[in-house]
Chains A and B, each alone.
Chain A
């Protein structure tokens, strides 16, 4: 009872006000929930369809490169001592890197879904990562006569997870190539300040329809207007990019206007001390330095 007497009217009113706010927020929340329920219901209906599509997609995506690989290796065996050998080996390499890309996305998605997304920090070389990406996409660039311009304005050491950065850039640039019009250019620009580095990938193609803006990061969603892109791909790329960006605590956004599409990513720079060799206590812990360290007053044991 004593405690109650101590309470001033002001405090009581504040508490009542707080509870009212909480209540009105609850009502709003319920309305939101109902909407979400409807959305989810639709999604359930759709998911069976996607599942069956996915299996046939996988069949196509893997069957084609594998049968070309088999054919190519056969011709290589027959032409091993001729001038065609070099050309054939290049083709084999291209088909194999295509498969490698598909598998990388699938493995990344599997790892993300299994909760194995720890970052492995090391000093990374953005120039060579982008060069690898461009090499990987040589074929489509030659095919569509695309020119990739790369500018790196980020000097100094960058510490991040190189595998994740590679896959993020590869997916973005690969999408840019896929959706570009023939004979156009793609611009990759890297910038950086003290706290983060920014990568932007710009292409000139069919752009992203505003109707599907919300959906492009969903898994298994693929969009083609038929203008630039044959039905291909698994629809995993951007969902993997988004999840890996989250793991790196970065931000991704995009603008698409009149055929000019730019994806921007911003990734915070990591302290040198976090460079992980053994992946011991890593990552965010150091960002939160405001723990009660005074005595063991606040430490609890369970």
Chain B
């Protein structure tokens, strides 16, 4: 029996017990980490790529969220060498000429850069496009199930 956990913007969740971690993405990105040896997983959900240094150093920023998530899963006993990543979201939900132009692309870029730095391989991704996504990850197997939204009306 799986526990269920829904995460929103700016959350990081580490599942050490079998959990179905669920989130809904527009231009946001969720990075899923899976440790096969320990059968534990982590998921985050960030809104924009970079922290501007103004507000709190919250994980709604990619460059804050991903390193914090990696640290948290390492604390649970995971090894950076055995971690695998799956990346979702980063859709082009808003009009490309809006001020938040191509936020999805930038979000994705940050995820790839940071994961590369950690040398964590991205084994699967479903990113970009014009639709929102709902993803559900089973923490014990690392499997991710994805559904698209019908309309592109989600703005996070």
Contacts and interface: CB of A to CB of B under 8 A. Distances in A.
A240 B9 CA distance: 16
Contacts of A29: 101-102
A300 B101 contact: no
Interface in B79-114: 86, 88, 96-97, 101-102
A246 B146 CA distance: 26
Given A25-B97, A280-B4, A301-B143, A291 B12 contact: no
Contacts of B57: 113, 219
A215 B52 CA distance: 12
A201 B81 CA distance: 52
Interface string B106-136: 0000000000000000001110000010100
Interface in B50-95: 52-60, 64-65, 68-69, 86, 88
Contact of A25 (B56, B101, B150): B101
Contacts of B18: none
Given A298-B148, A300-B145, A300-B146, A281 B65 contact: no
B55 A243 contact: yes
Nearest to B95: A21
A281 B6 contact: yes
A113 B58 contact: yes
B101 A115 contact: no
A22 interface: yes
Contact of A291 (B124, B143, B144, B149): B149
Contact of B68 (A40, A109, A115, A280): A115
B134 A217 contact: no
A18 interface: yes
B40 interface: no
A21 B148 contact: no
B48 to A, nearest CB: 12
Given A113-B57, A219-B56, A291-B147, A300 B8 contact: no
B145 A243 contact: no
Interface in B1-37: 3-13, 22, 24
B56 A301 contact: no
B4 A281 contact: yes
Interface residues of A, number: 47
A112 B150 CA distance: 32
A188 to B, nearest CB: 25
B6 A242 contact: no
Nearest to B14: A115
B52 A36 contact: yes
A239 interface: yes
Interface string A111-130: 01111111100000000000
A112 B7 CA distance: 13
Contacts of A285: 6, 22, 24, 134
Nearest to B68: A115
Contacts of A113: 56-59, 64, 68
Contact of B55 (A22, A242, A291): A242
30 contacts: A22-B101, A25-B96, A25-B97, A25-B101, A26-B101, A29-B101, A39-B52, A113-B68, A115-B10, A115-B59, A115-B68, A116-B12, A117-B10, A215-B54, A218-B55, A239-B56, A281-B5, A281-B6, A288-B149, A290-B153, A291-B147, A291-B149, A298-B147, A300-B145, A300-B147, A302-B125, A302-B126, A302-B143, A302-B144, A302-B145
The 9 closest A-B pairs by CB, nearest first: A115-B12, A115-B59, A302-B124, A281-B4, A302-B144, A43-B53, A281-B6, A290-B150, A300-B146
Given A39-B52, A281-B5, A285-B6, 11 more contacts: A219-B56, A239-B56, A243-B10, A247-B10, A280-B6, A281-B22, A285-B22, A300-B126, A300-B145, A301-B145, A302-B125
